[in-house]
Every structure is written in structure tokens, then in C-alpha cells.
Amino acid sequence: MRSQVGIIGAGPAGLFLAHLLHRAGIDAVILEHRSRAEVEEAVRAGVLEYWVVALMHELGLGERLAREGHFDDGISLQWDRERHHVDIRELTEGKRVTVYPQHEVLKDLIAAWIAQDGEIIFSVDDTKIRDLDTQHPAIDFRRDGTSEMQTLQCDYVVGADGFHGPARQAIPASHRTEYHKVYPFGWLGVLVNAPRSWHELIYANQAEGFALLSTRTPQLQRMYLQCRPDDDVAAWSDARIWEQLHSRLDTDGWTLTEGKIVQKGIVPLRSFVCEPMQCGRLFLAGDAAHIVPPTGAKGLNLAVADVWVLAHALDVKYRHNSRNEVDRYSTTCLRRVWKAERFSWYMTTMLHHNHAETPFERRIHRADLDLVRTSRAAAASLAENYVGLPFDAPAAGKA
Ligand code: RFL
Ligand code: PHB
């Protein structure tokens, strides 16, 4: 098999890249370890930045999103049992927060890719990247249920294979630097059959810990509770979950609407960046290169930002035979990545209860929250980061 670009992973990074390359007339093949059903059912992110929504429309993929997405004017921040509306739309000249679940985005992207005869192979195993330092890199893989290895020959390999995928390890350890931060808490996420309790997302910081109220559909709500990173879902009975959700989210005169809990899961919170995001003819994109704690709702959006830069760079390479943009890929992406890392760290430390922090640090976070309530500049900064920072043109002459 041969294609100009070989993509490992059919998450947001891999699928958006395939569509962007197709639009530029560049062919790509996607290799995905999971089955189509597994990819389309995994419950993950919820919030899309304004430009990701615009991009889906540009790619002709926005029809269901326009019908089924939730377009909120802002978010609520809550502490000391008081709720404060951050009017993102007003603070960002009309940009809005869109809640449209990641797996619905993936369903739309996969259906459109297959409808246009795009090549995607699900359930592959034993993916191995080789010959990265040559003009002809290749990906070896095995199709589901077969013992025979196959090879995808390509000009460029893209590791869009998530945090646990093999692509990052294909960059020799001596060529990369990894930055890690592990937080002393995780999130227990639940899906609840219930109507929406509040018209926008609520991020709450209470003495018992953080809680987030989000949504999926008019009848299905997504809620998160701060828990221990090594917590066991079995320790969270439905009764305990409701008791904690009420205690962290209810205010005087307002109570959360309960319903049947239909799914529970725990994720640890971490920040991670791998520098550089490229080596020879391999490019890392999305979670393969960086992780943010979900408090800033940035992970999916950052994955799409990477491949937007990469698709443009490859377009310039194929169209004008200029390597400038391709060579700058990592530098260009990392500027946005570190700003998203900063914002996600800020939201996480401000909104969680951290036993390891001193009373001084807790008061600083409280001041940070109060600043958003009382200073338009602070609220505008939060709003701009949340809804999506503008794209930054690479500084001329800098590699
Ligand atoms: P993904 O989605 O992990 O996709 C990688 C794909 O690669 C496949 N793969 C392989 N394929 C072939 N061969 C191999 N050897 C392979 N190894 C792995 C995997 O099966 C998978 O299909 O990475 P990508 O594309 O970089 O996308 C990243 C996003 O999924 C992630 O950042 C977000 O989900 C993070 N996130 C959020 N991001 C937001 O922008 N807004 C949010 O509101 C938001 N909320 C969240 C989140 C992540 C969460 N969890 C579960 C960590 C909420 C949560 C709870
Ligand atoms: C979600 O709906 O899953 C969600 C929303 C906002 C976040 C994280 C997750 O910050």
C-alpha cells in the first residue's frame, strides 16, 4: 500500500488531518487500532472552540452539529455557594461555547471520510514505524484476525495515536524532552439520564473539591467530581455521587436535577508536553505530543490546531516544494500548546482542592477566582482562552 501521508490513529487529530489533506488534494490512509464501534462510543470531550465549529462547517461536516450542538453564551464559575456568570459571548465579540460530544464529531468525520472513499483500516495491531530518516518511511501493521504483516509506504508519517500510542517512542529518547506534571487528583465522570439543570456549564470549587456540570443531549447530562487519582469507581455508589454533586453544586434556592446514572469512569489529571513534535518524516499531533488536564476543555481543540498547522505545511510542501512550513511545524504548534498548558493548569489549580497546598496558595486561588468576578480584563482573558485563542502567525525568519 502507498499514500502520501500515513496517519496512525482515528481520533480527532487523525480524522481532522485526513479531511484537511483531502481538501488540499493530498492523499492519506488512516490506521486505527480500535474497531469503528469502539471509536464512536468512547465518551470523552465536550467543548469545541469557536473556530473548530467554523472548520467543521467549512469542511461540510457541520450539519448535525448545527442541529444537535448546544451553543452557550458563557459558563458559570461557582465558589462559596455563589454562582458567577462569565459572559463569554459579550467578552469575545460574539464568540460562543459549543458543547457537542467528541464521539459525535468522530461519527461525522468517519462517515464523511468513508463516503468520499477515504481509506481507513480499523482494528489494526502491531503498528511499527520505520525508516523515518529516509525519504521513504513506512508503517508496518497487522490487520485484525490475520497473522500476516502489511506495509503502508508513505512520504510522511503522522503519529495521531494518543498519549499511549507508539509514535512518540519512535523518536529516539536523545532527541526529545518530555515535561510532566501529575496532579494529586482525578475526575469521576458520570452520564445521567436527566434534563439539563442549568443553561450553561458550571465549574464549582467547594471545600469538598471540584465539580463540573456539563451536558450531552437534552436528556443526557455529563457531570464530573474531583476524586483521588487512584480512586476505585466501586467506592462511588450512586448515593455517594448524588450527595457529593449536591453538596458541591447546589446553591441557596437551586438544586441539581437527579436522574439515572448510566455510566461511571475515573481519569487521572496530568499535564505533559513532548518537544519537539517532529523527527525526520514523523510528526506528532494531539495527545501523542501533549496532554492537558480537562478543566480548560482544551485537549481536542489543541489536537485540531496541530493538524490545521500540519495540513497547511504539507500543502505548502507539495504545492510549492518548500520545506519551510514543514520544518517549522513543531515550533509553530508549541507556541499554542504552551498557552493551552498554562490555561489548563490555571483553571485546574484555581478550581480544585489540593491537600498538598498551603493556606497561602489556597487564598491565592480564591483571589484568582474573585479577580474574574471583579475585573473585566481578567474575565476577558479567561473567556478568550476558553473560547479559543486567535491563531498566531509564525514570526518571520524564526525556525
Ligand atoms: P485520541 O482521541 O486519544 O486518539 C488516538 C487514536 O489513536 C489510536 N491508536 C492507535 N491506532 C493505530 N495503531 C496504534 N498503535 C494506536 N495506538 C493508539 C487510538 O485507538 C485512538 O483512537 O487522540 P487525539 O486524536 O490526539 O485527540 C485528543 C482528544 O481525544 C483529547 O485531548 C480530548 O478528549 C481531551 N478532553 C477534552 N478536550 C477538549 O478539547 N474539550 C473537552 O471538553 C475535553 N474534555 C477530555 C475531556 C478528555 C477526557 N478524558 C477521558 C481524558 C474530558 C475527559 C474526561
Ligand atoms: C465535558 O462535557 O465532557 C467537559 C466539559 C468541559 C470540560 C471538560 C469536559 O472542561
- pLDDT at residue 394 above 60? no
- pLDDT at residue 77 above 70? yes
Q: What is the mean pLDDT of residues 250-259?
A: 96
Q: At 131, is the secondary structure helix, strand, or coil? A: coil
- pLDDT at residue 354 above 60? yes
What's the pLDDT score for residue 396? 45
Instruction: Please state, as a whole number, how many other Cβ atoms lie within 10 Å of the Cβ of residue 177.
Output: 9
Q: Which atom of ligand 2 is nearest to the CA of 216?
A: 2
Place of cell 488512516: 30
What's the CA-to-centroid distance between 123 and ligand 1, angstroms?
16
Ligand 1 contact via 33 beta carbon (within 6 Å): yes
Q: How confident is the model at residue 398 (pLDDT cuts 50, 70, 90)?
A: very low
Q: How confident is the model at residue 145 (pLDDT cuts 50, 70, 90)?
A: confident
What's the pLDDT score for residue 397? 38
Q: How confident is the model at residue 399 (pLDDT cuts 50, 70, 90)?
A: very low
What's the CA-to-centroid distance between 178 and ligand 2, angstroms?
26
What's the pLDDT score for residue 290? 98
Identify which of 49, 104, 201 to mutate to test ligand 2's pocket (most ligand atoms within 8 A of the CB). Answer: 201
- Alpha-helix runs per DSSP H in the chain: 12-23, 36-41, 50-58, 63-68, 88-91, 102-115, 238-249, 299-320, 324-327, 329-351, 359-374, 376-387
What's the pLDDT score for residue 379? 98
What is the C-alpha to C-alpha distance for residues 398 and 129, in angstroms, rounded to an integer? 30
What's the pLDDT score for residue 393? 60
What is the C-alpha to C-alpha distance for residues 181 and 358, in angstroms, rounded to an integer? 18
Structure confidence by residue, pLDDT tens digits, 215-237: 999 999 999 999 999 999 999 99
* Among the listed residues 185, 191, 209, 266, the one whose alpha carbon sits nearest the alpha carbon of residue 233: 266
Q: What is the mean pLDDT of residues 82-101?
A: 96
φ and ψ of 216, to 5 deg: -130, -60
Q: How confident is the model at residue 101 (pLDDT cuts 50, 70, 90)?
A: very high
What's the CA-to-centroid distance between 377 and ligand 1, angstroms?
32
